[in-house]
Structure 1
């Protein structure tokens, strides 16, 4: 399977992709410049989803493996079954995956006749693997991805191997079950490389909560890197 061109972590690139896919003009992606209170206060509210670009390192891969093993062994809180999650099978498609996960699982407006609206509708009732196959066989998304990737500020790389990866965070209702009344919202991470959606805990403020999660899980204990980047989906 051919590798797609990696998407640049740049709101202009993400918004170019989103507009062509069908996101309405009253919503947009914006930079999150840092995790301290003053910089978080600059982010347009309300935040509907957050996309994180992070470096894949030996430390992050070890932590990912350990976390997957713990979930396999001990389970996790039930995930809202209406969330749309897709298994990533296309190399370097994590940018498109993160954008689909962010928009499809938020209450932002998507044009009913758009490629994204049709894709989301066709995903209903399918397994994550079937959704992945649908993405593989929908050439329009490869075209949108390629055009957005080629429209960034950086030159298109000739070597398409990358050690950077996009993941996405959304707020979702706690799955209903015995004793779950009033359970509220949960922060859920949607990463196509994982075995499924990951419950990251109670959601009181998506932006603040994700900032703490990123600091604790992705940054703390890892090598210093300038390759972390976060963007929010919110009002234009």
Structure 2
């Protein structure tokens, strides 16, 4: 990690403020997901374009991450859409901004022409994940937007920047496999800058429900922590 930012709070107000300053336009907005039951998921505005999860890092989650990454490196993920924009995280505590960029850049949402996001996404085309990370490091506007959002939360800005909380993101992307799947087949893809690349979480027919199941089974299953937060990018 080359530098360290102040962590973002997991709050729709914070994520919406960041997004509007960065260039998210139209009616798109972030909303809280209050629970994983069908009734609570049904309260979220539709359609859902992306889901952002804040979760606690633990020895168990780190062991799972290492095992999954080793399997992905060994077996590959041939069904993933090659046009997915994924960035390697090289800035400590930047996972909030990383999650926001991953969510917005890989969703069919409207961006303001000439905005920080539209320019950044355009500049990322054709670059490696590491080159995109370097581009993020050298784009002061994102550091400024992140700092403004981090300082506008309800909690005091911490003096100790070490944190065991991390953001990841889920989007839906078309399958790239040339098999017998229908052309409309979609995959649930997890985007986390700490990983080896995008993670195929299986077929997706309902982004919010599919992401909630992964959160329940992979992240929350067996965890005693209550430090989870789920926020959806919606375009009502």
Q: Secondary structure at the match of 1:120?
A: helix
2:32 and 2:66 mapped to 1: Cα distance?
29
Q: Does 1:32 align with 2:33?
A: yes
**Alignment root-mean-square deviation, CA:** 1.2
After superposition, residues 5-20 of structure 1 pair within 5 angstroms as: 5-20=6-21
Unmatched tracts of structure 2, length 5 or more: none
Q: So what's the TM-score if we normalise by structure 1? A: 0.96
The match for 2:229 is 229
Indicate the residue corresponding to 1:123 in structure 2: 124
Corresponding residue SS for 1:84: coil
Structure 1, unaligned stretches of length 5 or more? none
Tell me the residue number matched to 2:171.
170
Which of 154-163 and 179-188 deviates more?
179-188
State the aligned residue count.
235
Structure 1 stretch displaced more, 226-235 or 177-186: 177-186
| Alpha-carbon separation, structure 2, partners of 1:204 and 1:217 | 19
3-state DSSP of counterpart to 1:48: strand
Conserved 8 A contact 2:78-2:177: no
Q: Secondary structure at the match of 2:24?
A: coil
Cα distance, 1:180 vs. partner?
4.8
Deviation, 1:183, is 6.1
Contact 1:77-1:199 within 8 A present in 2 as well: no
Give the 3-state SS of the residue equivalent to 2:205 in structure 1: coil
